[in-house]
């Protein structure tokens, strides 16, 4: 059984490179999580999980992460990703991610709305929300954006 994470942070980054995948890698580096092995998780923050501004995670660590990302090589295209983590009073929290061909503000509105909706469906009170987002207009090289909720111990 895996341990239950006790900390969560939200991060976002953008980047460009010669290939879409390396642009995604540059975006991960910009977000501060490029040297981790991300293990994609869904949408629940464990009870008592504390929001923090930064996590100290060793390189290569298997890291539970919910994220949204988009890559593009269409010059002039605007891409964005956003993540939101909603916290309840005494219970678990909810993570929502979004990525697409839109502005950062549109991506943020989407994740905020989804967290609020998720709390309504669960009949829970939303105490606090943390949001991170990134946006980029594709230039001459492929670009990527990523927004992530990183869980740790």
The active-site residue, picked from 16, 97, 108, 135, is: 97
Q: Is 105 a catalytic residue?
A: no
Distance CA 7, CA 138 (A): 34
Q: Is 43 a catalytic residue?
A: yes
CB 130 within 8 A of CB 56: no
Distance CA 78, CA 120 (A): 31
Q: Using CB atoms within 10 A of its CB, is residue 46 exposed (0-12), middle (13-18) or buried (19+)? A: middle
Q: Is 97 a catalytic residue?
A: yes
CB 57 within 8 A of CB 63: yes
Q: Is 72 a catalytic residue?
A: no
Q: Using CB atoms within 10 A of its CB, is residue 143 exposed (0-12), middle (13-18) or buried (19+)? A: buried
- Known catalytic residues are 37, 42-43, 97
């Amino acid at each position: 059984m895996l341990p239950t994470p006790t900390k969560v942070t939200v991060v976002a980054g953008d980047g460009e490179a010669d290939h879409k995948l390396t642009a995604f890698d540059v975006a991960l580096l910009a977000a501060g999580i490029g040297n981790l092995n991300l293990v994609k998780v869904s949408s629940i923050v464990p009870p008592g999980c504390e929001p923090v501004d930064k996590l100290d995670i060793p390189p290569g660590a298997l890291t539970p992460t919910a994220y949204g990302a988009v890559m593009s090589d269409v010059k002039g295209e605007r891409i964005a990703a956003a993540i939101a983590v909603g916290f309840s009073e005494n219970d678990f929290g909810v993570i929502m991610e979004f990525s697409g061909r839109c502005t950062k503000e549109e991506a943020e509105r989407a994740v905020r709305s989804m967290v609020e909706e998720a709390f309504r469906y669960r009949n829970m009170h939303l105490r606090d929300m943390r949001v991170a987002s990134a946006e980029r207009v594709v230039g001459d090289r492929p670009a990527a954006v990523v927004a992530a909720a990183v869980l740790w111990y």
